[in-house]
Chains A and B, each alone.
Chain A
């Protein structure tokens, strides 16, 4: 029997087709295959058994490899994979926390979302060494998380990040009572991306396809979300280095984008737009015309401000060589999305797992040469804003061909396929959002697994601040702008 089943993203997989093997064999297989993990999670398999599913991404060939291992009720440990492939570190920690099966010789088996107060933080000793503890409530209006810095004078030797304060048990809720509204609230800054990932998964399991028009509207909305956040974050980075001109201008420019979203969908973040079966609101011709005019202005404003800002030597001295993550480290620890791209690792599911529109609209990948510092992450955002703008124009143009198509199609009330699984990917502005949904023989959802890009990337932030001044932490943090709620679920 084959060791792996090779599938495409957003296709129905029969659970019975997924190979199962011993965990030792699976570990060797993972090492041999050398692909990137995007799913590594357990499922209660009845009578005390636990089945561990592994989903690996072959980004070069847009394939997914899936396999599994079964743990008997008294199998309470296994040799960890992280020892050999470091990027599994967070996945194995999560699996341990959820199922209590211990990965032996895991280099750092600490909590992911629970027991924050019981965990003994890593400590350093020495005359000059001191600790700085921040959070869970931070100084700004942001989500909660605890940061513990080990400093020598002003220099950060090590940062430990403890999360889980936002844990709401979303996976469980999505299994019992899934809805687009809930999907949008898993991570409210990526509402569209989450709603798309959820809707795609459900549509695949219910076995129907949405109209071309709805696909294009979703795609346009996703790019608008990306553009708005990237502009906002450029402003936030400017704010953190006290370049208030940039903070004000980018902030005002972002408002133009999200207000356009409001005109399309009735919500500044596009809530209520995407639904299982298509989209709830049509993109009307006159609104599109108005949006195009606004976006022209947005493009010019961002250009003008970014160029002015990047010419400023005091700005550059703060951005350059601050918070660097090398390409090698980024690859080793398995960074994804924006954080990976800024370090020169091109990962973008829009291009790695393209839909039919990418070739039809002639959208190609333009590689980004990044050195992994704050400057790279700033410039990457600038580049993505420009790319999203040009994509949106192409999508709006294409929409005209499908004027008469419905925005929503029948099929919402279909039954789920039985004993099936689907892996749904969507590229939010932070990176890949993975929703994996399983059904049982009674056609009910039996497991809902979510992976936010922040899940991979938080450790990248911890590495970025090493040997930087502690006062540069806010700047590093903002340049990543990772999600707490997406990580904590």
Chain B
């Protein structure tokens, strides 16, 4: 008992106090900064997911795995440590040389009054892994650890869809999971949110060409939030969800 208390005191407080302004290590590969007017021919064919478009230069963060192959190949592209990548609009995930990080953070998520009123103080989510590689799943688990402590904002993962206010999908949605995913969605009471987490969920990511996936679910039901990453960093996820359910300060 005494040892346990000692260990507890030794550990102290570990949570990140100001999660919205939490610093990110500069090595992190996040928001792309693109420069027009530089020769990008060396980038031809380096992108494994087709996120990179060379003419005109743009990167689709919904497809991007943030592997850094393009930034190593040419100078026009730099993946910065900007980690607030979430958008409520699929089109906005496509970044061009005009897109400034600050503007993106301020405009990418459209805050709706009714959502803030409904979920602003408590949002319970059911996570469905539909072909996810366990990368995003591990990071979503990390959101609830002592460092990130997502629960303090009223955001939690729950066991039953009946207790949930929405679902978080990871993975490209395999054929074998398509039925279970839809079943789970239908079991969530209205009103409900759908959050796509990671490149695989948003676009298929590295599995776009895969023949064993079935993405019909996304054609049938509306999506509220797109959270890019491969895998999604906990800070990206928490800030992304917060920006959707809280009023801007």
Task: Tell yes or no: B196 within 8 A of A by CB.
Answer: no
Contact among B7, B49, B157, B231 for A188, CB-based, below 8 A: B231
Task: Tell yes or no: B136 within 8 A of A by CB.
Answer: yes
Task: Tell yes or no: A189 within 8 A of B by CB.
Answer: yes
Task: Please report the C-alpha to C-alpha distance between residue A187 and residue B135 in the assembled complex, in whole angstroms.
Answer: 8
Task: Tell yes or no: B139 within 8 A of A by CB.
Answer: yes
- CB A428 to nearest CB in B, in angstroms, measures 12
- CB B147 to nearest CB in A, in angstroms, measures 5
- Nearest chain-A residue to B144 (Cβ)? A141
Task: Please report the C-alpha to C-alpha distance between residue A255 and residue B160 in the assembled complex, in whole angstroms.
Answer: 28
Task: Please report the C-alpha to C-alpha distance between residue A184 and residue B141 in the assembled complex, in whole angstroms.
Answer: 19
**Given that A141-B127, A141-B157, A169-B211 are contacting pairs, would A252 and B139 also be in contact in the complex, using a CB cutoff of 8 Å?**
no
**Beta-carbon contacts under 8 Å, B101-145 to A:** 127-142, 145
**A323 CB contacts on chain B under 8 angstroms:** none
Q: Could you mark each residue 176-207 of chain A with 1 if its beta carbon is under 8 Å from any beta carbon of chain B, else 0?
A: 11011110111111010000000000000000
Task: Please report the C-alpha to C-alpha distance between residue A28 and residue B137 in the assembled complex, in whole angstroms.
Answer: 44
Task: Establish whether residues B29 and A185, one from each chain, have CB atoms under 8 Å apart when the complex forms.
Answer: no
Task: Establish whether residues B146 and A252, one from each chain, have CB atoms under 8 Å apart when the complex forms.
Answer: yes
Q: Could you mark each residue 206-217 of chain B with 1 if its beta carbon is under 8 Å from any beta carbon of chain A, else 0?
A: 110111110000
- CB A65 to nearest CB in B, in angstroms, measures 32
**Given that A269-B135, A311-B3 are contacting pairs, would A116 and B159 also be in contact in the complex, using a CB cutoff of 8 Å?**
no
**A136 CB contacts on chain B under 8 angstroms:** 177, 180
**A485 CB contacts on chain B under 8 angstroms:** 131-134
Task: Establish whether residues B65 and A271, one from each chain, have CB atoms under 8 Å apart when the complex forms.
Answer: yes
Task: Establish whether residues B128 and A168, one from each chain, have CB atoms under 8 Å apart when the complex forms.
Answer: no
Task: Tell yes or no: A167 within 8 A of B by CB.
Answer: yes
Task: Establish whether residues A269 and B231, one from each chain, have CB atoms under 8 Å apart when the complex forms.
Answer: yes
**A307 CB contacts on chain B under 8 angstroms:** 3
Task: Tell yes or no: B86 within 8 A of A by CB.
Answer: no
- Nearest chain-B residue to A169 (Cβ)? B212
Task: Please report the C-alpha to C-alpha distance between residue A342 and residue B20 in the assembled complex, in whole angstroms.
Answer: 43
Q: Which of A8-16, A215-223, A257-265 contacts B (4 or more CB under 8 A)?
A: A257-265
- Nearest chain-A residue to B173 (Cβ)? A168
Task: Tell yes or no: B33 within 8 A of A by CB.
Answer: no
Task: Tell yes or no: B172 within 8 A of A by CB.
Answer: yes
Task: Tell yes or no: A248 within 8 A of B by CB.
Answer: yes
Q: Which of B8-16, B36-44, B91-99, B219-227 contacts A (4 or more CB under 8 A)?
A: B8-16
- CB A114 to nearest CB in B, in angstroms, measures 8
Task: Establish whether residues A266 and B27, one from each chain, have CB atoms under 8 Å apart when the complex forms.
Answer: yes
Task: Tell yes or no: A439 within 8 A of B by CB.
Answer: no
Q: Could you mark each residue 224-243 of chain B with 1 if its beta carbon is under 8 Å from any beta carbon of chain A, else 0?
A: 00000011010000000000
**B25 CB contacts on chain A under 8 angstroms:** 259, 262-263
- CB B48 to nearest CB in A, in angstroms, measures 4
Task: Establish whether residues A189 and B135, one from each chain, have CB atoms under 8 Å apart when the complex forms.
Answer: yes
- CB B30 to nearest CB in A, in angstroms, measures 9
Task: Establish whether residues A187 and B210, one from each chain, have CB atoms under 8 Å apart when the complex forms.
Answer: no
**B231 CB contacts on chain A under 8 angstroms:** 188, 268-269, 271
Task: Please report the C-alpha to C-alpha distance between residue A485 and residue B231 in the assembled complex, in whole angstroms.
Answer: 15
Contact among B132, B146, B233 for A268, CB-based, below 8 A: B233
Task: Tell yes or no: A19 within 8 A of B by CB.
Answer: no
**A141 CB contacts on chain B under 8 angstroms:** 127, 129, 137, 140-141, 157
**Given that A166-B171, A252-B145, A485-B132 are contacting pairs, would A179 and B207 also be in contact in the complex, using a CB cutoff of 8 Å?**
no
Task: Please report the C-alpha to C-alpha distance between residue A252 and residue B10 in the assembled complex, in whole angstroms.
Answer: 13
Task: Establish whether residues A308 and B129, one from each chain, have CB atoms under 8 Å apart when the complex forms.
Answer: no
**Given that A166-B177, A172-B211, A185-B206 are contacting pairs, would A304 and B142 also be in contact in the complex, using a CB cutoff of 8 Å?**
no
- CB B197 to nearest CB in A, in angstroms, measures 10
Task: Tell yes or no: A173 within 8 A of B by CB.
Answer: yes
- CB B229 to nearest CB in A, in angstroms, measures 10
**Beta-carbon contacts under 8 Å, A2-59 to B:** none
Task: Establish whether residues A266 and B28, one from each chain, have CB atoms under 8 Å apart when the complex forms.
Answer: yes
**A249 CB contacts on chain B under 8 angstroms:** 7, 11
Task: Tell yes or no: A272 within 8 A of B by CB.
Answer: yes
Task: Establish whether residues A168 and B172, one from each chain, have CB atoms under 8 Å apart when the complex forms.
Answer: yes
Q: Could you mark each residue 244-283 of chain A with 1 if its beta carbon is under 8 Å from any beta carbon of chain B, else 0?
A: 0100110110010001001111111101100000001000
Task: Establish whether residues B174 and A167, one from each chain, have CB atoms under 8 Å apart when the complex forms.
Answer: yes
- Nearest chain-A residue to B140 (Cβ)? A141
Task: Tell yes or no: A305 within 8 A of B by CB.
Answer: yes
Task: Please report the C-alpha to C-alpha distance between residue A271 and residue B139 in the assembled complex, in whole angstroms.
Answer: 14
Task: Establish whether residues B11 and A179, one from each chain, have CB atoms under 8 Å apart when the complex forms.
Answer: no
- Nearest chain-B residue to A176 (Cβ)? B209
Task: Tell yes or no: B184 within 8 A of A by CB.
Answer: yes
- Nearest chain-B residue to A275 (Cβ)? B69
**Given that A144-B180, A188-B133, A485-B133 are contacting pairs, would A248 and B11 also be in contact in the complex, using a CB cutoff of 8 Å?**
yes
Task: Tell yes or no: A312 within 8 A of B by CB.
Answer: yes
Task: Tell yes or no: B176 within 8 A of A by CB.
Answer: yes
Task: Establish whether residues B4 and A188, one from each chain, have CB atoms under 8 Å apart when the complex forms.
Answer: no
**B68 CB contacts on chain A under 8 angstroms:** 266, 272, 280
Task: Establish whether residues B145 and A181, one from each chain, have CB atoms under 8 Å apart when the complex forms.
Answer: no
Q: Could you mark each residue 293-310 of chain A with 1 if its beta carbon is under 8 Å from any beta carbon of chain B, else 0?
A: 000000000001101100
Task: Establish whether residues B67 and A165, one from each chain, have CB atoms under 8 Å apart when the complex forms.
Answer: no
Between A and B, 11 residue pairs with Cβ closer than 8 Å are A140-B157, A140-B159, A143-B132, A143-B134, A166-B177, A168-B172, A181-B49, A189-B133, A255-B142, A271-B65, A483-B134
Q: Which 3 A-B pairs have the closest CB atoms?
A: A188-B135, A188-B133, A139-B159
